């Protein structure tokens, strides 16, 4: 069913293009004052990421029948996408991507619709030294990891906190707006002015606890990186985390994302709600360097500073199928299953690395390691989590097998504080096909 829907969407989209395209070069009809564009060059990509998981559940988790559950296993589709890029000439581009995310055996996710991820139009100067465009786009600020290509990551998945408000004021990290970018010598830049989707939480009645409030303000964001070795000339909003040793790159980056009037909280004097902006910023370092014998190293370091208002916390878990009673949630408020505190006011330090080792058959083995350190205002104890994995690139990024083991902290309510109670584990096997 999923494949049929994707193909149906693609055929409809292509029929519109064929009907509108003309075989001749760009011409102007002086009689009707209309511009006829030449037939576009069409580039098609598609990808799927299939997961098999074993998860140690958070305390208090129950299965759908209400029985206490210590773990779950499942097979799920993390992502399924088809994208089309249209180049009418060297200066005019249209890009669209459709698909679905997070299909598990949970009935709610099984009805997840296919939806538009991206739909934008862009005009660019020679060699993409500059570009400007508009639409539903992923030209994000903050960090390289916030602009990541899902199919070209050397870690199994992104850590989540790299998108400052994912699925609340955006559609899978995309927003409607205008964007621009390009490069000035070794400096690559992107900026955007977007209109975030409205999202509002129930206001906290406890003074000094921030929540999100619906805001009609525009958000502004940007990401800039200085290239010390080779220069990347990117035309897409998505940046690869690995070129598999084909490039020699060392980039220093910094970015921001600000959404005015999107946070509310009661001050300690309880004199009505205070409204403030959400401020997020980061710095990062990205390295890819070839070694002898066709080996290579990938490494990424990022530091994030998030201000969502006093003691703001947001928990979540990818394809979380666990359930929990209200009584248990009062003790373990981060939630059931694989939930953890993803975002919050405070600081996050993230590091990941991989050592690529090419074989005689041109396949690549790559052990990976990552860690995350979080110092969040709403938590009494800081957290430290680890990801250890292994990639097998049978055919570059087009056919990749991955295995990753991760741990996550579990917090327990103790009086007015959230204290670190234990750690739980997660194992994921992934098959990625990208064409």
DSSP notation for 147-175: GB-TTS-SSSS--STTSTTTTTSSBTTBE
Burial class (CB in 10 A: 0-12, 13-18, 19+), 233: exposed
- Nearest residue to 224 (alpha-carbon basis) of 183, 195, 258: 183
For residue 15, give the 3-state DSSP assignment. helix
Instruction: Specify which residues 124 forms β-bridges with.
Output: 131
State how far the Cα of 17 lies from the Cα of 41, in Å rounded to an integer.
Answer: 11
Instruction: Please state the φ and ψ torsions of residue 13, each to the nearest 5 degrees.
Output: -65, -45
Q: Which two tokens stand for residue 273?
A: 């709600």
Instruction: Please state the φ and ψ torsions of residue 306, each to the nearest 5 degrees.
Output: -115, 130
Residue 214 near residue 273 (C-beta atoms within 8 A):
no
92 contact partners, CB below 8 Å, separation of at least 6 = 37, 121, 122, 123
Q: Where is 301: in which H helix or E strand?
A: strand 296-307
State how far the Cα of 402 lies from the Cα of 393, in Å rounded to an integer.
Answer: 9
* pLDDT at residue 287, rounded to an integer: 98
Q: Which residues of the chain have pLDDT under 70?
A: 1-39, 107-112
* pLDDT at residue 109, rounded to an integer: 54
Residue 44 near residue 427 (C-beta atoms within 8 A):
no
- Which regions of 185-248 does DSSP assign to beta strands (E)? 187-195, 211-212, 219-227
pLDDT (tens digit, 9 = 90+) per residue, 306-363? Answer: 999 999 999 999 999 899 999 999 999 999 999 999 999 999 999 999 999 999 999 9
What does the chain come to in residues? 435
Q: Where is 109: in which H helix or E strand?
A: helix 107-110
* pLDDT at residue 201, rounded to an integer: 87
* pLDDT at residue 122, rounded to an integer: 95
Q: Which two tokens stand for residue 329?
A: 């949630």
Strands 364-376 and 383-395: antiparallel
Residue 51 near residue 75 (C-beta atoms within 8 A):
yes
DSSP annotation string for 207-250: TT--EE----S-EEEEEEEEESSSPP---SS-B-S--TTS--EE
Question: How many other C-beta atoms are found inside a 10 Å radius of the C-beta of residue 64?
Answer: 12
State how far the Cα of 6 lies from the Cα of 372, in Å rounded to an integer.
Answer: 36
pLDDT (tens digit, 9 = 90+) per residue, 406-435? Answer: 999 999 999 889 999 999 999 999 999 999
* pLDDT at residue 127, rounded to an integer: 82
169 contact partners, CB below 8 Å, separation of at least 6 = 175, 196, 197, 198, 199, 212, 219, 259, 262
Instruction: Please state the φ and ψ torsions of residue 186, each to the nearest 5 degrees.
Output: -85, 0
* pLDDT at residue 22, rounded to an integer: 42
For residue 19, give the 3-state DSSP assignment. helix
Residue 90 near residue 41 (C-beta atoms within 8 A):
no
* pLDDT at residue 105, rounded to an integer: 82
* pLDDT at residue 235, rounded to an integer: 79
Q: How far is CA 229 from CA 183, 225, 286, 288, 356, in A?
A: 15, 12, 11, 10, 20
Residue 144 near residue 155 (C-beta atoms within 8 A):
no
**What is the model's pTM?**
0.90
Max Cα distance, the chain (Å): 78
State how far the Cα of 369 lies from the Cα of 207, in Å rounded to an integer.
Answer: 40
State how far the Cα of 219 lies from the Cα of 255, in Å rounded to an integer.
Answer: 14
């Amino acid at each position: 069913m999923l494949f049929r829907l994707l193909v149906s969407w693609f055929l409809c989209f292509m029929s519109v293009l064929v009907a509108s395209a003309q075989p001749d070069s760009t011409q102007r009809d002086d009689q009707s004052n209309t511009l006829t564009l030449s037939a576009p060059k069409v580039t098609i990509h598609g990808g799927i990421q299939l997961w098999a998981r074993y998860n140690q559940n958070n305390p208090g988790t129950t299965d759908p029948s209400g029985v206490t559950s210590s773990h779950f296993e499942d097979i799920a589709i993390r992502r399924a996408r088809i994208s089309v890029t249209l180049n009418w000439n060297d200066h005019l581009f249209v890009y669209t991507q459709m698909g679905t995310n997070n299909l598990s055996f949970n009935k709610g996710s099984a009805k997840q619709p296919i939806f538009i991820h991206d739909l934008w139009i862009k005009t660019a100067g020679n060699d993409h030294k500059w570009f400007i465009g508009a639409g539903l786009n992923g030209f994000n600020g903050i960090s390289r990891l916030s602009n990541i290509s899902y199919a070209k990551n050397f870690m199994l998945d992104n850590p989540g906190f790299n998108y400052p408000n994912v699925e609340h004021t955006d559609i899978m990290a995309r927003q409607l707006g205008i964007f621009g970018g390009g490069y000035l010598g070794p400096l690559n830049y992107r900026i955007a002015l977007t209109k975030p989707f409205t999202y509002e939480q129930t206001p906290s009645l406890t003074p000094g606890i921030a929540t999100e409030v619906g805001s009609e303000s525009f958000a502004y964001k940007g990401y800039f990186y200085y290239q010390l070795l080779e220069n990347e000339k990117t035309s897409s909003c998505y940046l690869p985390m690995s070129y598999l040793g084909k490039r020699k790159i060392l980039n220093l980056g910094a970015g921001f994302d600000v959404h005015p009037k999107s946070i509310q909280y009661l001050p300690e004097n309880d004199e009505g709600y205070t409204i403030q902006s959400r401020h997020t910023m980061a710095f990062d370092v990205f390295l890819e360097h070839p070694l002898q014998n066709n080996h290579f190293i990938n490494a990424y370091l990022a530091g994030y500073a998030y201000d969502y208002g006093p003691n703001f916390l947001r928990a979540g878990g990818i394809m979380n199928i666990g359930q929990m009673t209200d009584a248990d949630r009062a003790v373990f408020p981060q939630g059931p299953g694989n939930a953890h505190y993803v975002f919050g006011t405070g600081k996050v330090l993230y590091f990941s690395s991989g050592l690529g080792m090419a074989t005689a058959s041109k396949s690549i083995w790559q052990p990976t390691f990552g860690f995350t350190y979080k110092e969040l205002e709403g938590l009494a104890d800081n957290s430290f989590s680890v990801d250890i994995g292994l990639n097998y690139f049978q055919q570059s990024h087009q056919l990749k097998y991955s295995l990753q083991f991760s741990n996550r902290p579990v917090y327990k309510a103790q009086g007015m504080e959230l204290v670190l109670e234990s750690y739980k584990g997660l194992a994921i096997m992934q098959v990625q096909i990208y064409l």
